Structure 1
Amino acid sequence: MIPALLGLCPVGGYAQNGADRLPNVIYIMADDLGIGDLGCYGQRLIKTPAVDGLAKSGMRFSQHYAGCTVSAPSRCVLMTGKHTGHSFVRGNKGVEDAEGRKFDFPLADGEVTVAEVMKRKNYATACIGKWGLGGPQTEGHPNKQGFDYFFGYLGQANAHRYYPEFLFENEKMVKLDKQVYSHDLIMEKALSFIEKNAEQPFFLYLSPTIPHADLILPDNQLGDYDGKFVEKPFKGGGYVAQPKPRATFAAMVSRLDRDVQRVLDLLEEKGLTENTLVMFTSDNGTHKEGGHDPFFFNSSGGFRGAKRDLYEGGIRTPFIVSWPGVIKSGTVSFHVSAFWDFLPTMCELIGEKVPAGLDGISYLPALTGTGKQKQHDYLYWEFHEQGGKQAVLRDNWKLIRLQVDNPAKTRQELYNLNTDPMEVLDVAGQYPEKVKELGKLLDKAHVSSELYPFKTERK
C-alpha cells in the first residue's frame, strides 16, 4: 500500500491526510495533440518538460482512448460517461443562432455531466477553453450543465482562430476584435479561477485549443525552434498561411507545456499540490491541418491513422495523472481505459452514486493501487463522417467497420493489437468467427439516433 493512503479518509469520498476537504480536480484536455507529441510518449523534437514531469510524478497510461475521433462527440462522451453508441452528441453538428453565428448542437438538459455530479459535493466548477456542446441561450450552455463559470469558445468552429472576434464569459460575449491571442487569455482566466477558489474544493475542466490549427503564435514567438527544421510553407486555404509550420507547431506544443507548468507552480504556491488530482489528455488524435506534418513529428506515436480515423492514431490518446502522495510516482498503467470512465471515476472519488445508463468504469483503483480494478468487456466508437465508421475493441482484438452508410461498399477489418498494435495486418479473412463475434458487439453497442443516424437508418 502507498504510505500516504494510510492517511486517506473516505468522507463521502477521498479526503487528503484525514482532512474533511475533498481533493481538487484539474482535467487538462489539449486539442488535436497526438500521443506522440509528448516526450514521455517518445517525442524527440518537441520539448515538453512540464507534462513529462507530471508523468514522472504520477502515472502514465499506455492504452487510454478518446471518446471519439473528432471534437464535439469526444467531449460529450467525457462529460456524460456514455460512449458514442448512445451518447447524445455523436458528431460535429453545427447550428446557427438567431444572429447567424455558428455553434454546436446543444447537449440535452436531461444529460448528467461530470460538473453536475461535482456540484453535489459543493465543488466550485469551471470550464475554461473550448466547450463545443451548445451555444448561448441553449440548454447545452456550460452554465446550464453544472459549470459555475465558463470562459472561452462556445462553438468549436470559432476555435480554429487564435485571434477571434469574440469569446464568451458565461453568457456574455467578450469582444476581442481579432486583437488578442486567445490561448493566453484562456490561461489567465484558468489561473485566476484557481486563485479565487483555493480555499474550497474545485473542479477545473481546462480545455485549451492548442495545438489545433490555425498554426500561429503571437509575434511569431518560435523560440529555439526558429530555423531548426527544413520547412514546407503552408499557403493557406481554410487556415492562415504559415511559412514555418513545423517550427510553429512545435512552439505551440511547448507553449501549452509551459502553461501546464504555470498551473502546477500556482498549486505549489497555494499549498494545493498534495490535495489536487491533475489529469492531462487530448480530445482525439493528431490533425493534418493548417500545414502540420504529423509524419515529421511522429505525432501518432507510430500508430496508424490520425484524427477522423478509428485506427489507433485517431483515438488512442495520451493520459497522465498526478496526485502526489496518493499515486505512486513514475508508474505506467496498462489498464485499458477511455473518456467515458472519467465520470464514474469522479463519482468514486467524491463518494457520489454513479448515474444510471453509463458505459464507464472507475479507474480510481488503478490510480491509487487499492481495491480491485474492474475491466471493460469491450470499448466502442462510431463516427458519422467519411461514409460512416464503427469500431469495437475486446481483449485487444479490434474490428473496424467502414462505409457503414453504403451496404454495398461496407467492409470490415480485424486487427490483433497484442501482436500488431500498428494495425498493419488485416486478419479478417483468417478469423471469420472473431469477425462475427465482434460484429455482434458493434450492433449491440449502437443505438440508433434521430440526430445522428447512419444513412441506412434514415427514414
Structure 2
Amino acid sequence: MNIKQLYNPSIISLALAIITCLGCTSNKKEIKEERTPNIIFILSDDLSWGDLGCYGQKKIKTPNIDRIAAEGMKFTNAYAGSSVCAPSRSSLMQGLHQGHARVRGNSYQSYRESLKEGDYTVAMMLKEAGYKTGLFGKWGLALENQPGIPNKMGFDEFYGYLNQRQAHTYYPEFLYHNQDKVFFPGNKNHYEYENYSKASTYDEEGKVIPNGIDDPSNAVYSFDIINEKALDFVKENQDRPFFLYLANTVPHGPLIVPELGEYKDKNWPIQHKEWAAMVSRMDGEVGKLMDLLDNLGLDDNTIIFFASDNGNSSQGYEKRYLDLQEGPTLSDFFKHRSPTRGQKSNEYNGGFHVPAMVRWPGKIRAGTVSDHIWAFWDFLPTAADLAGVSSPTFIDGLSILPTLTGQGEQIAHEYLYWEHKQNQAIRLGEYYAHKANGGHLELYNLLTDPQQQNDISAENKALVEKIDKMMAEAHRPSDVWPSPGESKEAFQKRLKDNNIPERPNNIGHF
C-alpha cells in the first residue's frame, strides 16, 4: 500500500466508522452496567407461610421460588400490609401502614374504596425516575369508574383484574388491558357464580373440565395469560430500567388449575392436588421469568422481591369439598401455617406474618437468612434507594436496602402498626399487642408465646400504656372506615358533619 492509499478518503472513513462503532459499543455496555436496577415484585395471593420448600414444605414442589431464597435473602420477620387483600396492596403501593393508607379493608357495607387523585404510589415514583412501569395481575384498589385505576396511579401498562370479586374466577369473561376489556369467548359462562363457585371435574389425564365451558381447549386460564403478558413486558423494556409488579392470583380460591401435573396420581383429596398444582404452576412461571432475565443479560441487574399478600390463608376454599367428604384440611395436610397464631382476616401475628425473600445477584449474599422486622410499607423507600431518588417525607416506610446489601446503617422501626375492622395490632420488638375495637389491650411475648395465648398485659402496665399511646398516634380517621372504638352512630354523624355523601353499593362492579 503506497502513501496515497493510506490517505484514501474511503479508507479513512471506514476506519473512523469502525472506531466510532467500537466507541458506541463500549458506551452501551457502560450505560447498561451503570443504569439503575430493574425492580420486580412478585406477590402471591393467599400463599401460606409453609407452602414453599424454602419454608419447610415437603409435599409441594417449588424449586424456582426456593432458588430466590437460596440465591438471595430469606426473611423470618416479614409482614404484609394487612391480613386481607386490598388494604395489604394499598400499604405496598403507598408506603403507608394501615393507620394512614387510603384503602383499609376489602370493602365497608358493600362499598369498595379507591385510591384517589393526590395519592402517591411507588409506581408514580419510579416512573418519575425514568422507569417503565407495569402491573400484571390483580389490582384491587379501584373499579373502572373510580379514580385509582392503575394507569392513573403510575403504571404505564396494566393487564389483569380490577375488582377482587372478578378475580374469583380463573376463567373470566374478560380481563383489562389498560382501560380496555379483553374478552375470552372460549371461557363461555364459567365466570357466573353458579359455575365458578362449584368444584370442577378433571379427566383421566388430570386436565380440568371447567364448569360452564363446553370445550376446555379454547378456554383461557387467567393466571397463564397474565404471566405471558408480564414476560412480554420484560422483553419490550429490556433496554431501559423497568418496574414489574406481578400480582399473581394463585393460590387464592376457588381452587382450579388447568392440569394437576405431577400431583395427578397422588392418593390425595382433589382439593389438595389443586392447591399443590396451583402453587407449582406459579413456581413454573417464576422459573420462566428468571430464565428470561438470564437470556436477556438482565439477571445481575434485576432485584426480585417475592412475598404473599397476607398471612395464613383461611379454609373457606375447601368447604365445598369437605361438605361432601370428610378429610384433613389444607393446613392439616400440608402443615403450612406460620409458627405464630393468626390467619387471614384477623389481627393476630400470623394474619400478617408472611414468607418473603429478595434476590439480587452480586449485591445480596446468597443463602442468607434475616430476622430484620419489616413490612410492605418499607418497599417504597427501598425502591427509592434502588432508583437513586429521594423517598417522600410523608410515608411510614423505611428502606431495607442496608439489610439487603449489608452496606450502610439499617434504621429499624420502633414498631409496626396494623388496623382492620376497627381492631388494632402492634409488633414492638419481641412483643405483640392486640386490641379489639377500642377494648382491652392484650399483650404477648412472641418469643416465649408464639401462639399468643398468655396475655401478660396485667403485669406490664407501663408497656401497655406506651403501646396504647402508639396505637392512638398511628391512627388517622378515615371517611370510609369507622375508627377503632367508634360506634356506627358516631361514625355516621362524623360523615354527616363533614358533608360526606353516602357510598354506593359497588362491591360487584367491575
Give the shorter-chain TM-score range.
0.7 to 0.9
CA displacement at 1:298 relative to structure 2: 2.2
* In the alignment, structure 1 residue 287 sits paired with structure 2 residue 295: no
Q: Say if 2:251 is the partner of 1:211.
A: yes
Residue 440 of structure 1 aligns with which residue? 469
Residues 22 and 201 of structure 1 are in contact (CA less than 8 Å); yes or no, is this contact kept in structure 2?
yes
Query: Does residue 1:202 correspond to 2:242, yes or no?
Result: yes
Alpha-carbon distance between aligned partners in 2 of 1:24 and 1:365, rounded to the nearest angstrom: 18
Select the residue among 171, 196, 206 that pairs with 1:163. Answer: 171
Q: Any idea what SS the aligned residue of 2:307 has? A: strand
User: Percent identity, aligned pairs only?
Assistant: 45
1:260–1:18 CA distance, 2 compared to 1 (3 A)? closer
| 1:289 positional shift | 2.2
* Distance across 2 between alignment mates of 1:301 and 1:46: 16
Paired amino acid for 2:122 = V
Q: Tell me the TM-score normalised to structure 1 length.
A: 0.87
1: CA distance between counterparts of 2:316 and 2:96? 29
Alignment of 1:79-158 (within 5 A): 79-93=93-107, 104-158=112-166
Could you report, residue by residue, the CA deviation over 1:204-241 in whole angstroms, capped at 9, with x for unpaired residues? 000010000010011xx11222343542xxxxxxxxxx
Using the TM superposition, give the Cα deviation of residue 203 of structure 1 relative to its aligned residue in structure 2, in angstroms.
Answer: 0.3
- Paired with 2:407 and 2:482, the residues of 1 have a C-alpha distance of 42
Q: Any unmatched runs of 5+ in structure 1? A: 1-14, 97-102, 232-243
Partner of 2:75: 61
1:248 aligns with 2:262: no
1:437 CA displacement? 1.8
State which of 33, 36, 44 in structure 2 corresponds to 1:19. 33
Q: 1:417 to 1:186 in 2, by over 3 A?
A: same
Tell me the equivalent position of 2:441: 412
Q: Deviations over 1:300-331 (max 9, x none)?
A: 23321210122222101111100000000000
Question: For the residues of structure 2 that align with 1:230 and 1:202, how far apart are their CA atoms?
Answer: 42
Deviation at 1:380, TM superposition (A): 0.2
Deviation at residue 137 of structure 1 after TM alignment: 4.2
Question: Cα distance, 1:199 vs. partner?
Answer: 1.0
Secondary structure of the residue aligned to 2:249 is coil
Amino acid at match of 2:423: K
How many Å apart are 1:453 and its aligned residue?
1.3
In the alignment, is residue 191 of structure 1 matched against residue 191 of structure 2? no
Q: Assess, with a 3 A threshold, how the Cα gap between structure 1 residues 95 and 157 changes in structure 2: closer, same or farther.
A: farther
Corresponding letter in the other structure for 1:449: S
TM superposition score normalised by structure 2: 0.79
For structure 2, the residue ranges without an aligned partner over 5 or more in a row are 1-28, 188-218, 319-328, 494-510
Deviations 1:413-438 (A, max 9, x none): 21111222332322223323322221
Residue 190 of structure 2: aligned partner: none
| In 2: Cα distance, 1:91 partner to 1:136 partner | 18
Map 1:360-439; keep pairs closer than 5 Å. 360-384=397-421, 388-402=422-436, 404=437, 410-439=439-468
Shift of 1:354: 1.1
For 1:156, the aligned partner's letter is Q
Q: Aligned-pair distance for 1:17?
A: 9.6
- Give deviations 1:263-295, integer Å, cap 9, x for gaps: 001001101100000110011012322116223
Shift of 1:94: 7.1
Q: Does 1:308 align with 2:345?
A: yes
Partners of 1:269 and 1:95 lie apart in 2 by 49
Q: 1:417 to 1:269 in 2, by over 3 A?
A: same
* Structure 2 CA distance for aligned equivalents of residues 52 and 275 of structure 1: 20
- Return the alpha-carbon distance in structure 1 between the equivalents of residues 362 and 109 of structure 2: 46
On the 8 A contact 2:108/2:481 being kept in 1, the answer is: no
- Quick one: which amino acid aligns to residue 450 of structure 1? D
1:35 alignment counterpart: 49
Conserved 8 A contact 1:160-1:214: yes
Between the two proteins, the alignment pairs up a number of residues equal to 417
- SS of residue in 1 equivalent to 2:50: helix
2:234 is the alignment partner of 1:226: no
Cα distance in 2 between the residues matched to 1:136 and 1:88: 17
Q: Which residue of 1 aligns with 2:322?
A: none
- What one-letter code is carried by the residue in structure 2 that aligns with 1:167? L
2:298 aligned residue: 272
Aligned to 2:508: none
Larger radius of gyration: 2
Amino acid at match of 1:272: L
Whole-angstrom CA distance in 1 between matches of 2:445 and 2:304: 32
Between the aligned partners of 2:76 and 2:301, the Cα distance in structure 1 is 25
Corresponding position of 1:100 = none
2:99 corresponds to which letter in structure 1? G
Match for residue 180 of structure 2? 172
Q: CA, structure 1 residues 397+229, in 2 after alignment: closer, same or farther (shift >3 Å)?
A: farther
Tell me, in whole angstroms, the C-alpha distance in 2 between the residues paired with 1:181 and 1:395. 43
* 1:69–1:310 Cα contact (<8 Å) kept: yes
Q: Higher mean Cα deviation, 33-42 or 273-282?
A: 33-42
Q: How far off is 1:21 after superposition?
A: 1.2
Question: CA distance change for structure 1 residues 263 and 95 in 2, over 3 Å: closer, same or farther?
Answer: farther
Aligned position for 2:374: 337
Alpha-carbon distance, 1:77 to partner: 0.3
CA contact (8 A) 1:117 1:347 kept: yes
1:444 positional shift: 1.3
Q: Could you say what the CA RMSD is over the residues aligned between the two structures, in angstroms?
A: 1.9
Quick check: 1:66–1:284 contact (8 Å CA) kept in 2?
yes
Question: Which 10-residue stretch deviates more, 269-278 or 104-113?
Answer: 104-113
Q: Is the 8 A contact 2:73 2:369 kept in 1?
A: yes
Q: Distance in 2 between matches of 1:152 and 1:22?
A: 27
